[in-house]
Structure 1
Amino acid sequence: MSSTTPATPSARGVTAERLTNLRRWNLALTVLHLVQAAAIVVLATDFAITVTSSFPAGPPGSDVPPPEALFDVPIGAAIAAFLGLAALDHLLNATLGRGLYERDLHRGINRFRWVEYSLSATLMILLICLYSGITGVAALIAIAGANGGMILFGWLQEVMNPPGRESTTMLPFWFGSLIGAAPWVALSVNLIGAEELPGFVIGIFVSLFVFFMSFGLNQWLQYRGIGPWGDYAYGEKAYLVLSLAAKSALAWQIFAGSLVG
């Protein structure tokens, strides 16, 4: 008698047809992100925001010196950077990394997505912080760490819930949500305490908050199997659409508000 090992279950909805469709989407999004990045570089002014520091000058309890300039962040280049990171991610998904990307999708994972988000989304939240008046280097480092940690918990959520599982755990999702709330609380404190802020900064905060929460909602719907989100491939395409929309919204809101020549 001979025995065979059962095939590893594949994520629902990840078929050859859907993978071909996702490849077309990734190629299209590569072009769209690159075109926007190039347009921002060409059209934007040299506007920059200064990151500051205020290091202790005495024992605990001593007066802290006024903040000093550390370095300038060229806003146009920063926008082009997160658009470029997205373009690189989509290009890898469709070309050199296609085999790994598609094997991962069968396993209900997309590691390329989480690596790219941990960089691009963190850069995006840091830009929102700079526009909201959070310019201290220590605060920016802490916010970057919290946002990156939130995204990596999203990766862990996928790793801990493979196709064919008998039960689903949402623990990484909720831990990530808790950590990811910290940057938005910090931003809210600054916005509420500000004496005056341009309307476009408030618009950026509101629109990006909605987009960031939509990414979390997309994953929650996937792992609750609600409606079309019961197909992992559907959730993957939703991530592609949300990524393009969120990055485009931030890029052009900032351009319209402060980068117009």
Structure 2
Amino acid sequence: MTTNKNTSNETKFRGLRRFNLIMGFLHLLQGVFMWIVSNDTVYPIFTNYLSFDTSTFSLNPVAKLFYELPLGPSVAIFLLLSAIAHFYLASAGYENYINNLKQGKNPVRFYEYALSSSLMIVLIGMLAGVWDLGAIILMFGLNAMMNLLGLLMESLNQDRKKLDWSPFTFGSIAGIIPWLVIFIYFFGSIASGGEAKPPAFVYAIIPTLFVFFNTFAVNMWLQYKKIGPWKDYLYGERAFIVLSLVAKTVLAWMIFAGTLAPV
């Protein structure tokens, strides 16, 4: 019986190797396409400094252009980061990947998410009007911390009968804050009236990606609650891989269709 189970697991592991390889190519092809074909749209990043107004004897904020972020390469990068991670897991990192999966964890997943999904949240924020350097750094950092707390959740709960949910809880709190900022800017732009509203495609991106981002947390919750097919950690691993591809693909092509497609 044990031999059959081990054989079944080995088959699943080999399947995951092929799966990661396929996903790597899907991310790579999209990333290269976005980098090469996208137009030269840029989004501004500003810093705000205090300036003393001698006429009113008061301090006033002054915005200064810090950098113009090329949107096409930025979209390509979060796709290419995933491609690199998948290729690594399917090649040089495969043995370590399998050893970690047997322990119910995948650190590479969370390191990659800490970079790729944090870039994604920054781009979504910029589409909603979050153009301040400080806000962008904080959004990136909080989202990265959310993913690192996901890694901590897996590391702390190895073979524990009573789970420690604190990393999951704190990670959820950290992860929701960038979305609160996005919604404040998004609804603020709408409420202000006039022509300073987000482009039409942003109305679709924000709710869609909000759902996708939260689905990752649901997948982890189901893994640790061992509900239905999630009793098998490898089922949740495949779900993470599929969710990552779908979320990145949806965001990339929505942005491409909305603003990056060549005229």
* AA at the equivalent of 1:161: N
Aligned ranges 1:34-73 → 2 under 5 Å:
34-58=28-52, 62-65=59-62, 67-73=63-69
How many residue pairs get matched? Answer: 248
Q: 1:108 to 1:232 in 2, by over 3 A?
A: same
Residue pair 2:129, 2:198 contacting (<8 A) in 1 also: no
- Of the three residues 160, 167, 178, the one matched with 1:165 is 160
- The residue matched to 2:60 in structure 1 has which SS? coil
Are 2:174 and 1:179 equivalent residues in the alignment?
Answer: yes
Distance 1:171 1:229 in 2: 21
Residue in 1 that maps onto 2:100: 104
Q: 1:103 to 1:58 in 2, by over 3 A?
A: farther
Instruction: Specify which structure has the higher proportion of helix.
Output: 2
Residue in 2 that maps onto 1:231: 232
Deviations 1:179-218 (A, max 9, x none): 1110000001011110322221011111110110000000
Distance 1:243 1:166 in 2: 29
Q: 1:70 to 1:14 in 2, by over 3 A?
A: farther
Are 2:10 and 1:16 equivalent residues in the alignment?
Answer: yes
Alpha-carbon distance, 1:170 to partner: 1.3
The 4+ residue runs of structure 1 with deviation greater than 6 A are none
Distance 1:34 1:248 in 2: 11
- The residue matched to 2:92 in structure 1 has which SS? coil
- The residue matched to 1:167 in structure 2 has which SS? coil
Residue in 2 that maps onto 1:208: 209
Instruction: Specify which structure has the higher proportion of strand.
Output: 2
* AA at the equivalent of 2:24: T
Distance 2:229 2:248 in 1: 24
Deviations 1:104-156 (A, max 9, x none): 11111101101000000000000001111000001111111111111111001
* AA at the equivalent of 2:212: F
* AA at the equivalent of 2:93: G
* AA at the equivalent of 2:33: A
* AA at the equivalent of 2:123: L
Alpha-carbon distance, 1:15 to partner: 1.5
* AA at the equivalent of 1:199: A
Alpha-carbon distance, 1:13 to partner: 11
Residue in 1 that maps onto 2:130: 134
Residue pair 2:78, 2:119 contacting (<8 A) in 1 also: yes
- The residue matched to 2:162 in structure 1 has which SS? coil
Deviations 1:197-255 (A, max 9, x none): 22210111111101100000000000111111111000000000000000000100000
- The residue matched to 2:49 in structure 1 has which SS? coil
Distance 2:39 2:203 in 1: 21
Distance 1:110 1:212 in 2: 18
Distance 2:10 2:52 in 1: 65
Residue in 2 that maps onto 1:9: none
Which structure 2 residue ranges, 5 or more long, are not aligned?
A: 1-5
- Which range moved further: 120-129 or 38-47? 38-47
TM-score, reference length from structure 2: 0.91
Which structure 1 residue ranges, 5 or more long, are not aligned?
A: 1-11
Q: 1:193 to 1:13 in 2, by over 3 A?
A: farther
Are 2:75 and 1:79 equivalent residues in the alignment?
Answer: yes
Alpha-carbon distance, 1:168 to partner: 1.4
TM-score, reference length from structure 1: 0.92
Alpha-carbon distance, 1:57 to partner: 2.6
Are 2:240 and 1:246 equivalent residues in the alignment?
Answer: no
RMSD: 1.8
